[in-house]
Structure 1
Amino acid sequence: MTIAAAAIVMFGGGLFLRFRMIEARRAQFLAANTELAKVDVMTGSQFEHLVAERMIHEGFHRVRERGRSGDGGVDIVAVAPGGGRYAIQCKRYTRTVGAPEVRNFLGALANAFDGHTGVLITSGRLTRQAREEALNARQRLVLVERDGLADWLTGKITLLPGRRPLVGGGEPVG
């Protein structure tokens, strides 16, 4: 009986240590990639991974990277601690994000991700038309543009509702 109890304690301790190691690697990865200059040289999939890791760090769960062809116009899906579902489109752009990209994302939200809060995160900036498309959409769309991205990556602002969330245009509320 004591051998079984010891084995259970050792197994639990091993799982705890593994969890702590994963969390430490995540924190190290995020700390190493908070500068926009580093984001600017990432590939699109590396940027998506950074966004997913940041969301996990913020407390989102069931974070799934869907990027690649056939992703349905959404790169990441996640669930907020309160249960709200999020669909995220990542644009690691050095140029501006135009209205067609916003319309495509809104179409994906309306068709396959109804009920999700849409989040468009870009390392660039939105054109005036793209911002208007997003702000006038029937479905709520959170925009995180370059300056907001820098603040989000360093933890100054959050995507979580009720905790100084971002709103359209990447401006924090409150």
Structure 2
Amino acid sequence: MLDEIVLLESSSLRASVAERDEVLDKVKELALSPDGLHATTKDVAAYFEVSESVIRAVIHDHRSELQSNGYRVLSGEELSCFKQLSGIQSRSRSIGIFSRRAVLNTAMLLRDSIVARQVRTYLLDSERKQSIEPVDNLIHRLKEWIDTRITDALAQHPATLADAARIAEDIIRTTIGTAVVPLLNTAIRNDDDQRARIEGLESEVTRLKRILREREAAGSMGALDVMNARQFEQPIAWLCRRDGCDPVTVTRGHDDTGADIVAYTPDGRRVVVQCTARTSAATITSGDVQQFIDMAKLDHKADIALLVATCPFTRDALLLAARHDMTAVHRGLLEAWNGGVKLQAFRH
């Protein structure tokens, strides 16, 4: 059974219900362009009662998924035609447009929109109702069809009781060979496919539940502040997973020379993370940064190096990090990251 939190976190589960865009109309009317097929970013923002910047942020973070569901950016001649058709006066050189399916996809990504929550509620309710609808009784219908065939055959060819039995047997054998057996073979294949899909979904749900437990453990900055060094690594690992890294490995300090977490972005870049839990009154110095840079770049061949701390960095430490393309996740940035903002280092 689909759950709203899992739906928000899992792209595969969102894809499984992406066709159900009729639920949009159950919440409110979606304004579309004159072609009746597309909505602009402004239209989508109005539907969900959020600012256009919120919708643009969703596009930025989930562009490939939205594109797979019908989001497009128009430019050139195509844009000119769309402006003429829609009566849009904008001088923008490009305009993003959403299909209804892409709008539904957006509803499954917007966490804080009341309208998006209502859409998800209707969607989940619809899925639950569909899952408990009775299945047609194929055997009953097949029996009725065979009875009709036998009756028609006997009406056309009057026969003795023995001949009638033979005719009925021939019809049943033919029906079994040409209809029942292929149906059973198809059912077996479909059952295998369904079983594989269910197993995949169960694995996905198990993974998401683990991530959610880690997220609950992280909680607020206050919760991070009371963690020891080893405990602090777990919520940082979760944040890496949340932003798309997979696999994510917490090294547990086994000869890690300062690498507490090693992860990989979806495009294959190697991420090396050092987690430093200190009081907010402490600072990360340029010496700390230099030591981490040497370890991450030279020892671990990091494409992305993150030094994550619960305290501020000194000015010299920040400048050194910038010169060496290292991401200094100071207390302020950590609070934003923990609050849902994706790190710039993970963006394509």
In structure 2, what is the equivalent of residue 161 of structure 1? Answer: 347
In structure 2, what is the equivalent of residue 42 of structure 1? Answer: 227
Q: How big is the shift at 1:100?
A: 2.2
Q: Identify which of structures 1 and 2 has the higher relative contact order when contacts are C-alpha pairs closer than 8 Å and 6+ apart.
A: 1
Output the amino acid matched with 1:133.
Answer: L
In structure 2, what is the equivalent of residue 125 of structure 1? Answer: 312
Bigger share in helix: 2
Distance in structure 2 (CA, Å) of the matches to 1:73 and 1:39: 20
Judged with a 3 Å threshold, the aligned counterparts in structure 2 of structure 1 residues 101 and 130 are, in CA distance, closer, same or farther, namely same
Q: After superposition, give the CA deviation of every residue in 1:37-57 in whole Å (9 maximum; x if it has no partner).
A: 000111211211111111111
Bigger share in strand: 1
Output the amino acid matched with 2:310.
Answer: S
Superposed structure 1 runs of 4+ greater than 6 Å apart: 1-5
Output the amino acid matched with 1:27.
Answer: L
Q: What is the TM-score with the length of structure 2 in the denominator?
A: 0.42
1:106 paired to 2:293: yes
Q: What is the TM-score with the length of structure 1 in the denominator?
A: 0.78
The structure with the largest alpha-carbon Rg is 2
In structure 2, what is the equivalent of residue 77 of structure 1? Answer: 262
1:60 paired to 2:226: no
Distance in structure 2 (CA, Å) of the matches to 1:11 and 1:57: 25
Q: How big is the shift at 1:9?
A: 4.1
Q: How big is the shift at 1:25?
A: 3.5
What SS class does the counterpart of residue 268 from structure 2 fall into? coil
Q: How big is the shift at 1:120?
A: 0.9
Output the amino acid matched with 1:97.
Answer: I
Q: Is the 8 A contact 2:265 2:346 kept in 1?
A: yes
What SS class does the counterpart of residue 61 from structure 1 fall into? coil
Q: How big is the shift at 1:26?
A: 1.4
Judged with a 3 Å threshold, the aligned counterparts in structure 2 of structure 1 residues 35 and 14 are, in CA distance, closer, same or farther, namely same
Q: Is the 8 A contact 1:34 1:154 kept in 2?
A: no
Judged with a 3 Å threshold, the aligned counterparts in structure 2 of structure 1 residues 3 and 113 are, in CA distance, closer, same or farther, namely same
Q: Is the 8 A contact 2:214 2:234 kept in 1?
A: no
What SS class does the counterpart of residue 262 from structure 2 fall into? strand
1:29 paired to 2:210: no
Query: What's the C-alpha RMSD, in Å, of the aligned pairs?
Result: 2.3
What SS class does the counterpart of residue 121 from structure 1 fall into? strand
What percent identity do the matched residue pairs reach?
23
Output the amino acid matched with 1:153.
Answer: N
